[in-house]
Structure 1
Amino acid sequence: MSNTSLITHLRFVGFAMPQLEEQRAFYSKEWGLTEVTEKDGVYYFAAEGSPEPYVLRLRKDDKKRADVISFGTASRSNVNLLAELLKLDGVKVIHEPCELSTPGGGYGVRFFDLDGRVVEVSAEVAPREHRELASGESIPARLSHCVVNSPNPQATVDWYEKYLGFRVVETLHIHGRTLMWFMRCSHPQHHVFAVGNGPHVAMHHVSFDMRGIDEFLRGVGRLQRDGNELIWGPGRHQTGDNAYGYFQDAAGNTVEYTAGMSQLDDAWKATEGDLSDPAVLDVWGTSNAWGEHVMRSHFNTPDEGLFVAPPL
């Protein structure tokens, strides 16, 4: 295993919150995921176009938190080598590499990152039967990426580079301050993970890829017609070249419909973007303005589960 080829993709994100039933209804009836199973109070949701057994898991808790962020790797030997490196450097491992009992099984390890988030890396997860989405079908095809907030963003970026092999492909700046670090894994997708410069540790947003731009716009419109507030969008970021439309789920986490993200070849070089240029945020010029309302949504509320492992 080379460190820079460790992570192949983002598998799933887990949330815990008091409003479990409201969350289940939002993600299945509004957002367009498929609730596939429940086990020990955890509900698992798949994206119809994805081979992952699930891309989202929900659990009821008195406190709101991001339960776990899970990444894929190519082999169980990668999992073992990662665990050895983590333990050698004193990183707190939640559970040693083991067979997983979650849908799809597999072999994985869990640990805390620098900020106290729970991270899982797994291999040999059995794929789910999935299908090609039809033209015009405005539901998520797959999980695209997630972004976290950190009050110590550069240290968090360095941590993910060191242990998980992520590489910074682009940073966004304004008035001399860096606000965002976009990071790629071994997959050519522009980014599957990013770190935002935030006031506290929290999930910034979780993004779901649509079949195409038409389906993206249909999805944004459908959610608005159903009474969901469009926080920001529809537009197209210069960073990653992806379309964006941001909403909030029933617990106040920001979630995104996206489409069209760029793929990087072997000749890619890290770039910088200046947020004082409005085209960096939205090359189309169709979105509502980026401002305090958008930033409040993206900052989210402080994660209440840091350095505490979820029960499942």
Structure 2
Amino acid sequence: MTEYAFTHLRHVALAVPDFDKQLDFYTRQWGLSVAGTDGDTTYLAAEGSPEQYVVRIRKATDKRLDLISYGAADAAAVDTLAEKLGRGGVQLINEPGTLQTPGGGYGFRFFDNDGRTIEISADVAVRRHRKVEEGEAIPVKLSHVVVNTTDPEGTVAFYEKYFGFKVSDILMHPRMGNMMWFMRTNSFHHSMAIARGPHPALHHASFEMRGLDEYMRGTGKMLRAGVEKIWGPGRHLAGNNTFSYFLDPNGNTMEYTTELEVLDEDTWHPHLYDFSEPEVTDQWGTANAMDEFVAAKSFNDVDKGLFVAPPV
């Protein structure tokens, strides 16, 4: 098994009460394509991604984060991880086996230390995808997922211990201490970040655009459509990526980004950045201030799916 247990981020799955508005938002506005529908569940693909889907939405009474899915190198790596988690006392939702979702593959699910459902899979069929063209303001792929937790130190340690995630950078505040850990599972600066919050929940999911022009076109498209902007446009210091955050119809924060830093891992050393310094949160100085409004929206609602496996 490689140093990193996960090869990459595959998709994020959301359960939402207002399914129709959510589907309309992700297809007509955000720029994803319907890859398949099964009852009250729809699978949404990014045109530039080989993943079968990057977002799954499910109609449900309660809003929740259904799961986060990561890829593994092969079936043997999946089995090794399941065995390691079992030995460590981590609660498996199911044993490794054939997946019944688009693209098939081999994998299993488990609860992480906060009770989120995490899926690990290998041998998933590659989707026919295409190059996103110049000027197309649609996502190329899912870039990263950020989660809130009341125990970020414990969550960071969990992902380091079992999956070999590495900390790329940390955000801190002089009064509040360390607040966000950027975690990588390949050479990209982060595919996951872990934020200190009042309860476990999805902080945001981020989508990579083709380039700066397409990122700005996408940001403008959201503004013209009247989608509520939370923060941006700007460029973070940690990860050196652009950011524009918007609320989806069910109150989840979604981000357009581009140019996430690719690290030389042999020479990289994590930074401790003080995000009370304006240039840390936004190098350009073009975004609205990081304030209590931005933070409150990113806390999201209390996740009602902790330690409860999704039905799909």
TM-based fold match above 0.5: yes
- Paired position in structure 1 for 2:9: 10
Pairwise mapping of residues 283-302 of structure 1 onto structure 2 (< 5 A)? Answer: 283-302=283-302
Name the CA distance, whole Å, in 2 between partners of 1:310 and 1:244.
30
Name the CA distance, whole Å, in 1 between partners of 2:219 and 2:226.
11
2:174 paired with 1:175: yes
Post-superposition shift, 1:40? 3.7
- Paired position in structure 2 for 1:304: 304
Name the CA distance, whole Å, in 2 between partners of 1:34 and 1:88.
40
Post-superposition shift, 1:268? 1.1
Post-superposition shift, 1:109? 1.1
Name the CA distance, whole Å, in 1 between partners of 2:40 and 2:17.
13
- Paired position in structure 2 for 1:63: 62
Name the CA distance, whole Å, in 1 between partners of 2:276 and 2:161.
31
- Paired position in structure 1 for 2:207: 208
Name the CA distance, whole Å, in 2 between partners of 1:233 and 1:179.
20
Name the CA distance, whole Å, in 2 between partners of 1:118 and 1:149.
14
Q: Which amino acid aligns with 2:66?
A: D
- Paired position in structure 2 for 1:115: 114
Displaced runs of 4 or more, over 2 A: none
Q: Which amino acid aligns with 1:194?
A: A
Q: Which amino acid aligns with 1:292?
A: E
SS of match in other structure, 1:5 = coil
- Paired position in structure 1 for 2:267: 267
Name the CA distance, whole Å, in 2 between partners of 1:209 and 1:310.
27
- Paired position in structure 2 for 1:278: 278
- Paired position in structure 2 for 1:233: 232
Name the CA distance, whole Å, in 2 between partners of 1:122 and 1:311.
18
Post-superposition shift, 1:43? 0.5
SS of match in other structure, 2:43 = strand
Name the CA distance, whole Å, in 2 between partners of 1:47 and 1:15.
16
SS of match in other structure, 2:29 = helix
Name the CA distance, whole Å, in 2 between partners of 1:276 and 1:245.
19
Post-superposition shift, 1:229? 1.8
Q: Which amino acid aligns with 1:5?
A: Y
Pairwise mapping of residues 117-136 of structure 1 onto structure 2 (< 5 A)? Answer: 117-136=116-135
Name the CA distance, whole Å, in 1 between partners of 2:163 and 2:31.
31
2:48 paired with 1:49: yes
Name the CA distance, whole Å, in 1 between partners of 2:284 and 2:179.
22
Name the CA distance, whole Å, in 2 between partners of 1:42 and 1:27.
14
Normalising to structure 1: TM-score of the pair?
0.98
Instruction: Identify unmatched segments of 5+ residues in structure 2.
Output: none
Normalising to structure 2: TM-score of the pair?
0.98
Instruction: Identify unmatched segments of 5+ residues in structure 1.
Output: none
Name the CA distance, whole Å, in 2 between partners of 1:296 and 1:35.
31
Pairwise mapping of residues 55-204 of structure 1 onto structure 2 (< 5 A)? Answer: 55-175=54-174, 177-185=177-185, 187-204=186-203
Pairwise mapping of residues 243-258 of structure 1 onto structure 2 (< 5 A)? Answer: 243-258=242-257
String of CA shifts for 1:32-89, please: whole Å, max 9, x gaps: 0001111242100000000000000000111110000000111111100000011111
Tell me the percent identity. 51
Q: Could you say what the CA RMSD is over the residues aligned between the two structures, in angstroms?
A: 0.8
The number of equivalent residue pairs is 310
